[in-house]
A = this chain, B = another copy of it.
Amino acid sequence: MGIKLTSRKIDYSKWYNEIVINADLAENSAVRGCMIIKPYGYAIWERMQAELDKMFKETGHENAYFPLFVPKSLFEAEEKNAEGFAKECAVVTHYRLKNDEDKPGKLKVDPNAKLEEELVVRPTSEEVIWNTFKSWIQSYRDLPILINQWSNVVRWEMRTRLFLRTSEFLWQEGQTAHSTKEEAIEETILMNQVYANFVENYMAIPVIQGIKSASERFAGAEETYCIEALMQDGKALQAGTSHFLGQNFAKAFNVKYANTDGVLEHVWATSWGVSTRLIGALIMTHSDDNGLVLPPNLAPIQVVLVPIYKGEKQKKEIAEVANQMKKALESKNIRVKFDNRDKFKPGYKFNEYELKGVPLRIAIGPKDIENGTVEIARRDTFSKTLVDQDEVVDFISMKLDQIQSDLFQKALGFRETHITEVENFKEFKKIIDKKGGFVSAHWDGTKETEEAIKNQTKATIRCIPLESKEEQGKCVFSGNPSKQRVLFAKAY
C-alpha cells in the first residue's frame, strides 16, 4: 500500500478527504454533489442503521415508506418549511425523454411530457406525511402515530463534502403525531436522548444535548433539540436534531382529532433525523494520521487475522489455527475477517487495515505456531501484545470493550478541555480564532447579537445546553443582562 496521508496538522480538510477516499468509504459521482457510498462505508452505515432501528422500535416506532416526490402545492403548504427548502430543491418538470432529431443517438426532454404540477424531490417529508396523516387521524384513539422512515433525501447544496454535506444523502426521519403538547414535547426530548445514547455508546462520540436558538431552528419547528459533537480540529458538528413542530403542520394540512369530549383539536407533531453525515463525524472524531479509527461497536470488521508465512506448509499450518480462532471468535458474535489472500504481502495488509480502522489485528507467523501464541495489535494505540492462543477469545472480547471505552474517554477528554468560558468579546474572539472548540458565553437572547457575532467570528450558537445552570451575567457582545451561558463554535 504505502499510502501516506496528509497530516491533520498540515491540512485537516485534505486529511479528511484522503481518509474517505483511501479507506474506501465513499467517492464523488458524475452528479454534482451526490456521493457513491462504497461497500466499506456502507457497511458502517448498515451497522448504524441496525442499532438505531432497534432503538426506534424499542421506543414504539414503526417503519413506513412515503413517496420521493412532493407536489409543489403540498410543498408550499407550510410556509416556513417551504421557505427554508425552496432555494435548494431538485424539481421534476417532465416525465419523458425522446430522441433528439438534431443529434442521432441522443435524447432530449419531450416538451409534450410536461407535468401539470411540478414535483419536488423530497428534502424532508413533513408535507407528504402530514397530508397522509390527515386521513389516518379522526379521534384520540388513532393517536399517537409513531412513524420512522429510512430513505434518501435531496437538498441542492452548493458546496458539498463527502458525508458532511451532499446533495443527496441517506437518513431516517421520525414523524409523529400526538394529542397533547406535553406528549409531543416528551417525544421530542426522548428521541434526542435516544440519539445521544446511540452516538455516545456506539459511535463513542460525546455529545452535548441542547436547544437551538430561534435562527438555527428547523424551518417549521417551534423548538429544535440537538446533540452537538466536537471534532478534532475544534469545530462543532450537529450530530442529530429532534424537532417539536407544535401544531404548524396540523394547521397547514388541517389535521384535527376528536378529543375524549368529542371536541375537534389540531394534532401536535414532532420530527427527528440523523443522516450519513454521522459517518463524517465518526471519521473526524477518532481517526489519526495513519487513517481511520473505528469504535468496535460500529466496525464492520472488529478483528482481522493476518497470516505470515513462507511456503505452502507454513501457510497450511497457520490457516488451520486462524480458521479455528475465527470460528471461536464468531461464536462470541465478534466480526472477524481472515485475510488469506495470496497476492498481497503481510505488510501491505497491515497498512490496509490500519487505513481502514479495524480495531484489532491478529498476526500469526511460524514462531507463533511453535509457541502457541499470536501477536495482537490495537489500531487506536498501536500497542502490541503477545497472547497465548487459548486466551485469544477472552483477550479480544476484553480489548474490544476497552477500545470502545478508551475512544470515548479520549474524545471526552478533548471535548472537556475545549469548552472555554469567556467573559468578554475580546477573549471570545481569541478563543474562537486560536484554540477553537466551544466557547461558553452569556448571550442577551437577541437575533441581532447572534448575527453580529457570526459575522465577526464565523461562530454560531450551537445550542443552549439542557444542563446549563441559571447564572446571572452580561452578554459577551452587547453587555445586556443574560440568565445563562450558551455554547458558541465554528461548525461543520
Give me the interface of A with B, judged by CB distance under 8 Å: 27, 29-31, 34-39, 42-43, 45-46, 62-72, 74-76, 79, 82, 86-99, 105-107, 109, 118-121, 128, 131-132, 141, 147, 151-152, 154, 156, 168, 170, 343
Contacts and interface: CB of A to CB of B under 8 A. Distances in A.
7 contacts: A29-B66, A37-B65, A39-B64, A39-B147, A72-B107, A82-B107, A86-B99
A63 B92 CA distance: 28
A275 to B, nearest CB: 12
A239 to B, nearest CB: 20
Contact of A75 (B91, B107, B141): B107
**A-B complex: 8 closest residue pairs judged by Cβ atoms:** A39-B62, A34-B67, A37-B65, A86-B97, A95-B156, A91-B94, A93-B93, A90-B92
Given A86-B107, A107-B76, A67 B131 contact: no
Given A93-B91, A107-B82, A43 B62 contact: yes
Contacts of A66: 29, 36
Contacts of A121: 68, 92, 121
Contact of A36 (B63, B67, B70, B74): B67
Most chain B CB inside 10 Å of its own CB: which residue of A37, A39, A70, A120: A39
A106 B86 CA distance: 11
Contacts of A34: 67-69
A14 to B, nearest CB: 20
Given A31-B119, A63-B43, A154 B89 contact: no
A152 B107 contact: no
A325 B255 CA distance: 40
B87 A29 contact: no
A29 B121 CA distance: 15
B132 A71 contact: no
Contacts of A120: 97
Contact of A92 (B45, B87, B91, B131): B91
A110 to B, nearest CB: 8
A151 B170 CA distance: 10
Nearest to A90: B92
Contacts of A72: 97, 107
Contacts of A147: 39
Given A79-B105, A89-B95, A68 B154 contact: yes
Nearest to A29: B67
Contacts of A151: 152
Contacts of A97: 72, 75, 82, 86-87, 89, 91, 120
A86 B113 CA distance: 11
Nearest to A37: B65
A65 B82 CA distance: 28
Contacts of A106: 76
Nearest to A91: B94
A119 B30 CA distance: 11
Contact of A74 (B30, B39, B95): B30
Most chain B CB inside 10 Å of its own CB: which residue of A46, A79, A96: A96
A64 B87 contact: no
Most chain B CB inside 10 Å of its own CB: which residue of A31, A65, A76: A65
Contacts of A94: 90-91, 93
A64 B42 contact: yes
Contacts of A43: 62-63
A145 B140 CA distance: 52
A68 B152 contact: yes
Contacts of A118: 109
A35 B64 CA distance: 11
Nearest to A157: B95
A58 B30 CA distance: 31
A112 to B, nearest CB: 12
Nearest to A69: B31
Given A88-B96, A97-B120, 20 more contacts: A29-B128, A30-B74, A31-B71, A36-B65, A36-B132, A39-B62, A39-B64, A43-B62, A65-B170, A68-B154, A72-B107, A79-B105, A86-B98, A87-B96, A87-B97, A90-B94, A90-B95, A90-B119, A91-B93, A91-B95
Most chain B CB inside 10 Å of its own CB: which residue of A75, A132, A343: A132
A440 to B, nearest CB: 38
Nearest to A145: B39
A15 to B, nearest CB: 22
